[in-house]
Structure 1
Amino acid sequence: MVSTQRERDRYEVGLEFVLPSLEDVTPDGGRIESGTMNLTSVYYDTADHDLLRQQLTFRRRTGKADVGWQLKIPGGKARTEIRMPPGEGDAVPDELTALISGVALGKPVHPVATLTTTRRTRRLFDSEDRLVAEVTDDRVRGTVAGDRAVVSKWREVEVELCDAGDEKLLGKIGKRLTLRGAKPSWHPSKLGRVLNTAHLVPDRTNPTPTQALLVGYLDAQAQAIVAGDVRLRRGRDPVRSTRAGIRRFRSTLRVFERLFDPTAAAEFDAELSWYENLLDDVRDRQVHRTHVADALAGLPPELGTVASRVGDDLLADERRSLQDLTAALDGDRYRALLAAVARWRTNPPLTAEAADGPTVLERAVRRAERKALTRVATAAAGTDDEALYRARTAAERARYAVELAAPLLGTKSAKKKAAKCKKIQQVLGEHQDSVAAATTLRAFGARAGATSDESGFIFGLLYAEESKRTRQARKDAAALAG
């Protein structure tokens, strides 16, 4: 059975580091439980370290506690940990092989390093005896697999926020650690540290503020894409979050185009667009089905049987789109895309202009904002649905550009600018959803009419309802433009 845990902050400490008691941050009426265990973890990856390139770690842990197969997937400040029992033997479970097949680019995985850890734990409970946080103090000995063993030793502290904990507690524990000299770890994982894979991290020892913002933002979008890959293979629905990561990536390439090699950016953008279209097909049908479900709920009871068939038809259409998407996940083109994502997140092809001061970002943001407002005003005054679609895209790109440059623009100003763009994006998104839904309903209606199916009448009613929504969204967009 696969389970998940959320893991948080990691710190580097010296061998003589003294862990604080943490009594002062334990919830009132709570308690601290201490323990010590010895763990051995064998880490798996491809020969080219493809999992580590995407910041995933995959291991089989043995010992007296916390044993079994564990796959860690990055996601913002935290990571998702997927676990399975150890089983018998060293063979990777088929279920986990399937989950990592995309990130591994179809290559086999094998042991690449072994870490032995002496772990001292402090588990913090609240007054209701609920676990709020776990602090682990690890003394690690790592050995790289191969003909010539390479051994390294270090110590680190890890803080995991549990279900009953909150961000405030996490901050308090982090403050106690840093006051004692702990430093946030720049290694993505223990495996990254023992392998010392310098080629898997950005090749910029002293990045400029512009470079740091670009690389950090692109890395966050790459995380969304990779996490979405694993979630799709688990049978989950990450379409919305994955598509958002791709759109943010593509928007960055367009708005800040002068900061990227034009040939490399154009080639990568084309492949991102291909995958986004597959995701769009699924997402559009999800939205259509939601629209239709709301409309069907208001139909007379005597039409219930036909309405149910209409819903079934839309669900079948959605599932076909999802099948097309999942089929693409094991194709060569998709694997090449994931390999490109890995390259762009560690070493994007930046131009010399990306080394300039922050004003290069600020100018690009202003251009994106002006372009969005101009397009919205022009499109809202006309009758062209395609023009409104382009206006929405411009507003979306302006919003994402503001997000990226927020540290330069100031929190208050950035929030205000992003909120305005988001509002425009939402209104025009509703218009776009209604236009797409109306197109789908018209096609379904024509199909039903060709077979003398009485559901054609319902499709006609639903089409009229979507047309009303389209007109209302256009009015709302005009109001925003004014």
Structure 2
Amino acid sequence: MVSTQREREDKYDVDPDFTLPDLARLVPAGGRLDTGSANLTSVYFDTADRDLLRQHLTLRRRTGDTDTGWQLKVPADKARTEMSLPPADEDTVPDELATLVRGIGLDKPLHQVAALSTVRRTHRLYDRDQQLLAEVADDLVHATVAGDVAVISEWREVEVELGEHDKPSRAAKALRKVGKRLTKAGARPSQHASKLGRALAGNHPPAADTSGTAERALTEYLDAQVQAIVAGDVWLRRGLDPIHSTRVGIRRFRSTLRVFNKLFGAEARTTLDAELSWYAGVLGEVRDRQVQRKRFAERVADLPDELVMGPVAARIEGDLLAEQHRHLEHAMEVLDSDRYRELMATLARWRTGPPFTGPADSRAVRKAARKAGRKANKRLAAAVADTDDAALHRARKAAKRARYAAELARPVLGKKKFKKKAKKYKKIQTVLGEHQDSVVAAQTLCTLGARAGTTPGENGFAFGLLYGLEQRAAQQARADAARLTS
């Protein structure tokens, strides 16, 4: 059975003669510093085209310490989730893990791509309660890359991993302190996300990033969204529920394509936008039922018992859950389709090399972000003056794009007002989201209520009552939206 744990670590490149600073000074009063050593052997697996590595996943078999066995590491924000299995066949990836990376690996065979031997010296910092704050691993790595001609490289690096602590903020503070002490001693933030990435690069570090701040910000923002989509693929195959976070990543990616459309190649941008829209729609059918089930369960629970006539809750839950399962089955089928695999391959190319039409500068980012804001304001003003629900929905989508553009622009332009703008459009998005949820809920109740007479003991009274509540909620949201324009 696959076990999981979340880890966060910072990696540093150091010279062979680097002297590790005195970490005892960072141990809090009453705490302690433990040291140890281990000889590790790690064999990494990937496709011939390095598809897992391109999506920042690593799959390995390790011996030599407590991590003995198989591990799959999947990035998530600033941390990673590690899934582990006990030792098994040395030459074949266990089916449980091979299944999880089938989409990321584009259904290609997995085989050994590199073997790493590491001499590790560990330094563990504990607080007065004997809880681990951080672990510092000083690694001397010897790597052999498989191929027609083996490529051998060797380097030294230092990893600082966040400890499992009851108070994560305390451990995070220790992580920062250790990082400062290391950089002061001459360590440099690593240019490689993993040891495997370093091994495949050989003794030659990646070229320095010469792109401008704006271009770098755009690339990093898109990369973060692909990370959410990739993680969603793995979690969905595990039987978990990453649909909301996956759809948020898709929305942010599509928003960037549209708001900053002049910065990307038109054909590549348009094609990817259409494919992301398709996949978002597939997941959206599942997500809509999830949202509606929760919403109606709360609505029915709030009604007085005497007004709940018949098995209203059972009808709603049963019908929507059945629909949700049916759409989820379809989504799982999509994950193994050629169209989906092509989408994942395209995202892998975009996360490292978006097809910019030319150098992206801060001025272009500022101009596009401001334009998105003006469009959102204009659509909101027009929508509240109209009676068309669709107009409010369009205003909501414009507010989302303005919010995401402000989030992206903030590190580029370094202005507090972009943070305020993001907060403003998030509020608009929330209010208009409540309106849209009410509209969709009312439509769903019409469908469910029409079925109420087909089963003995049912009637449409409660459905009509719920419909009225959704209508009132929609009116309230419209009034709240109007106040946002004043």
Bucket of the pairwise TM-score, normalised by the shorter protein: over 0.9
Contact 1:7 1:81 in 2 (8 A): no
TM-score between both structures, scaled by the size of structure 2: 0.94
The one of 386, 402, 405 aligned to 1:401:
405
Residue equivalent to 1:470: 474
Name stretches of at least 5 consecutive residues in structure 1 with no aligned partner.
none
RMSD: 2.0
Question: Match of 1:159, SS?
Answer: strand
For 1:82 and 1:37, locate their aligned partners in 2 and report how far apart those are by CA, in whole Å. Answer: 22
Alpha-carbon contact 1:52-1:200 (below 8 Å) kept: no
Alpha-carbon offset, residue 19 of structure 1: 1.1
Q: Structure 1 residue 332 and structure 2 residue 338: aligned?
A: yes
Cα distance between partner residues in 1 of 2:231 and 2:70: 18
The answer on 1:191 being equivalent to 2:196 is yes
Superposition map of 1:45-64 within 5 A? 45-64=46-65
How far has the Cα of 1:310 moved from its partner? 2.6
Shift of 1:226: 0.5
Q: Say yes or no: does 1:228 pair with 2:228.
A: no
| Structure 1 residue 177 corresponds to structure 2 residue 178 | no
Question: Does the 8 A contact of 1:435 with 1:467 survive in 2?
Answer: yes
Look up the match of 1:275.
Answer: 279
Aligned counterparts of 2:188 and 2:269: Cα–Cα separation in 1: 35
Give identity over the alignment, percent: 57
2:268 equivalent among 249, 261, 264: 264
Deviation of the 1:83 alpha carbon: 1.4
Q: Which residue of 2 aligns with 1:84?
A: 85
Q: Give SS of 2:451's match.
A: helix
Aligned mates of 1:335, 1:211 — CA distance in 2:
27
8 Å CA contact retained: 2:4, 2:81: no
Determine the C-alpha separation between the residues in 1 that align with 2:104 and 2:225: 15
Q: CA deviation at 1:275?
A: 0.7
> CA shift at 1:199, angstroms?
13
**In structure 1, what residue type is equivalent to 2:233?**
D
Mapping 1:211-226, distance limit 5 Å: 211-226=215-230
Compute the displacement of 1:300 (Å): 4.0
User: Would you say the 8 A contact 2:214–2:412 is kept in 1?
Assistant: no
TM-fit CA distance, 1:3: 1.5
2:116 corresponds in structure 1 to 115
Please, which moves more after superposition, 294-303 or 106-115?
Answer: 294-303
3-state DSSP of counterpart to 1:127? coil
**Residues 438 and 467 of structure 1 are in contact (CA less than 8 Å); yes or no, is this contact kept in structure 2?**
yes
- CA distance in structure 1 between the aligned counterparts of 2:439 and 2:478, rounded to whole angstroms: 11
Partner of 2:44: 43
Deviation per CA, 1:213-272: give whole Å up to 9, x if none.
Answer: 111111111111101111111111111111111111000000000000001100000000
Shift of 1:389: 0.7
1:283 Cα deviation (Å)?
1.6
- Separation (CA, whole Å) in 2 of partners of 1:473 and 1:125: 51
In 2 relative to 1, CA 199–229 (structure 1 residues): closer, same or farther, beyond 3 Å? farther
Deviates more, 1:342-351 or 1:3-12: 3-12
- Conserved 8 A contact 1:39-1:117: yes
Paired AA for residue 188 in structure 1 = A
Q: Distance in 2 between matches of 1:242 and 1:27?
A: 40
Task: Decide which moves more: 79-88 or 362-371.
Answer: 79-88
Contact 1:200 1:346 in 2 (8 A): no
Pair 144,289 (structure 1): closer, same or farther in 2 beyond 3 Å = same
SS of structure 2 residue aligned to 1:106: coil
Q: CA deviation at 1:455?
A: 5.0
8 Å CA contact 1:53, 1:342 repeated in 2: yes
Does the 8 Å contact 1:53/1:200 carry over to 2? no
CA distance in 2 between partners of 1:315 and 1:139 (Å): 53
**In the alignment, residue 60 of structure 2 is paired with which amino acid?**
R
Query: Aligned to 1:163, what secondary structure does the other structure show?
Result: coil
Q: Residue type matched to 1:125 in 2?
A: Y
Determine helix, strand or coil for the equivalent of 2:402. Answer: helix
SS of the counterpart of 2:114? strand
Give the alignment partner of residue 173 of structure 2, picking from 136, 161, 168. 168
| Equivalent residue letter for 1:177 | L
**Which deviates the most, 465-474 or 17-26?**
17-26
Q: What letter is aligned with 1:82?
A: M
| Cα distance change, pair 161–185 in 1 and its aligned pair in 2 (3 A) | same
Of residues 149-158 and 410-419 in structure 1, the stretch that sits farther from structure 2 once superposed is 410-419
SS at match of 1:243: helix
- Residue 87 of structure 1 and its aligned partner are, at CA, apart by 2.5
Tell me how far apart the structure 2 counterparts of residues 331 and 378 of structure 1 sit (CA, whole Å).
Answer: 41
- Does 2:348 match 1:347? no
User: Is 1:238 matched up with 2:239?
Assistant: no
2:22 is paired with a residue whose SS is coil
- Kindly provide the amino acid, as one letter, of the partner of residue 195 in structure 2: K
Q: 1:31 offset after TM fit, Å?
A: 0.9
Is the CA contact 2:438–2:470 (under 8 Å) kept in the aligned structure 1? Answer: yes
8 Å CA contact 1:310–1:455 kept in 2: the answer is: no
Q: Which of 414, 431, 437 is residue 418 of structure 2 equivalent to?
A: 414
Distance of 1:154 and 1:97 partners within structure 2? 30
SS in 2 for 1:297: helix
* CA contact 2:228–2:249 (8 Å) conserved in 1: yes
Are 2:394 and 1:390 aligned? yes
Q: CA deviation at 1:316?
A: 2.1
Instruction: Report the CA distance between 1:308 and its aligned residue.
Output: 2.9
Matches within 5 A, 1:294-333: 294-301=298-305, 303=308, 305-333=311-339
The answer to whether the 8 A contact 2:311-2:458 is kept is no
Could you tell me which amino acid in structure 2 is paired with residue 383 of structure 1?
A: T
Shift in alpha-carbon separation, 1:356–1:286, aligned structure 2, 3 A: closer
Q: Name which of structure 1's ranges 300-309 and 359-368 shifts more when overlaid on structure 2.
A: 300-309
In 2, are the aligned partners of 1:3 and 1:84 still within 8 Å (CA)?
no
User: Which amino acid counterpart does residue 106 of structure 1 have in structure 2?
Assistant: D
Residue 152 of structure 1 contacts residue 194 of structure 1 at CA under 8 Å; is this kept in 2?
yes
Flag the 1:200–1:249 CA change in 2: closer, same or farther, 3 A: farther
When residues 286 and 463 of structure 1 are mapped into structure 2, their CA distance, relative to the original with a 3 A threshold, is same
Partners of 1:157 and 1:270 lie apart in 2 by: 43
Q: Does the alignment pair 1:148 with 2:152?
A: no
- Matched to 2:101, the amino acid is I
Q: Which piece of structure 1 moves more, 82-91 or 154-163?
A: 82-91
